[in-house]
Amino acid sequence: MKKKLKITFVAVICIYGVTVAGVNITDLKVGFDYDDTLIFSTPAFRAGAVSGQEPYSEEYWRVVNQSFNLEKVKLVPMTTALIYKALGFDVVVITARQGYGGEELQEHWKWLAKEFHFERNKSEILKRARFVAFFGDSDSDIEEAIEAGVRPIRVKRSKKSDYQGKYHPGQYKECILPFSD
C-alpha cells in the first residue's frame, strides 16, 4: 500500500514537472480582462464618478486607477488564473482603461500577472504571443479574442456591477465560466 502511494506521488510530481516544463518552453500565456472579470471594480469607478473630475479625463482615470483598495477579487475567475499560473502559464491582464496613474495598480498585481496592459485594442496584444485563452465579461472581449484567433471564455458579470452594457453571454457560442459572477 505504502509503495503504491509513493509511486502515485512520484507520478503526480513527474506529470506536474513535465507540464510546467512544457509550458515554459513554449511560453504559453493566458489573458484576462480586469474590470468585472478578475475584479469587481464598481467601487473604484464610483470613486471616480464622485471625485468631481470630468468623466474619462486624465484626472478621472487617476482616481479610478488609484482606488484599487476598494475593489474586490472575483473568486472563481481569480482561482482560475491562479491554477493557470501554477501550471506555468504567464498570466496577462489587459484592460481598456486609460493608464493614467496606473503604475501602482500594475505593481499591486505583479505577484499574479507577468504583464498588465492598459490597451483599448486587446486583440493587438493577443496577436503578439501564444495565448491559450482570453477571459472577459464584455461582448467586446469575446469579439477581440475571436479576431486574434484566441479561444474566448466568458466570465459572468456581477448583477451588482454599475456597468450593464455589451453583455450577451453565449452570443458567440463561447464557453461560459460557471459561477463566475
What residues make contact with Mg ion under the rule CB under 5 A?
33, 35-37, 137-138
* Of 23 and 133, CB closest to Mg ion: 133
* Of 88 and 138, CB closest to Mg ion: 138
* Of 62 and 122, CB closest to Mg ion: 122
Smallest distance from the beta carbon of 14 to Mg ion, in angstroms? 38
Q: What angle do CA 101, 115, 105 make, to 5 degrees?
A: 25
Smallest distance from the beta carbon of 153 to Mg ion, in angstroms? 13
- DSSP, residue by residue, 26-44: HT-EEEE-TBTTTEE-HHH
* Of 23 and 65, CB closest to Mg ion: 65
CA–CA gap between residue 94 and residue 72 (Å, rounded): 17
Q: Supply the DSSP symbol for 150.
A: -
Smallest distance from the beta carbon of 177 to Mg ion, in angstroms? 13
H helices of the chain, in order, are 2-26, 42-49, 58-65, 75-86, 103-108, 122-128, 139-147
Smallest distance from the beta carbon of 140 to Mg ion, in angstroms? 9
In DSSP terms, which residues pair with 131 in a beta bridge?
A: 29
* Of 37 and 66, CB closest to Mg ion: 37
Smallest distance from the beta carbon of 143 to Mg ion, in angstroms? 13
CA–CA gap between residue 175 and residue 122 (Å, rounded): 19
